[in-house]
Amino acid sequence: MQLTFDIPEKFFAYQTPKELIRLLKLNTAIDLYRRGKLSAGAAAEFVGDLDRYEFLYECRQRGIEPQTYDNVEELQAEIDNIHAARC
């Protein structure tokens, strides 16, 4: 899926369009991860130029702690989702 929208130049704040796009993708991925909509690996893939550990570092820089699971079933569901996405 591709989205297109206009951003007035005054909001670029000394960033190139490429830098702004990356920042928007990173912030969106962090928000989706924080809300439990994406795993760390999926969020890193969403950004496109990070691995899972680099993504978790970016989260930590923003005060977002790694997700934890309340029980084994939640963890197993996450693992199953990752396997299903790769197949």
CATH code of the domain containing 41: 1.10.10
Q: Are 67 and 33 in contact (CB under 8 A)?
A: yes
In a domain, 73, yes or no: yes
d(CA 46, CA 29): 7
| pLDDT tens digit at each of 87 positions of the chain | 888 888 888 877 788 889 989 999 999 999 999 998 888 999 999 999 999 899 999 999 999 988 766 677 877 877 787 778 776
CB distance 66 to 45 below 8 Å? no
pTM equals: 0.72
Residue 21 lies in a domain: yes
Q: Is residue 55 part of a domain?
A: yes
Domain range for residue 77? 15-86
Structural domains of the chain, count: 1
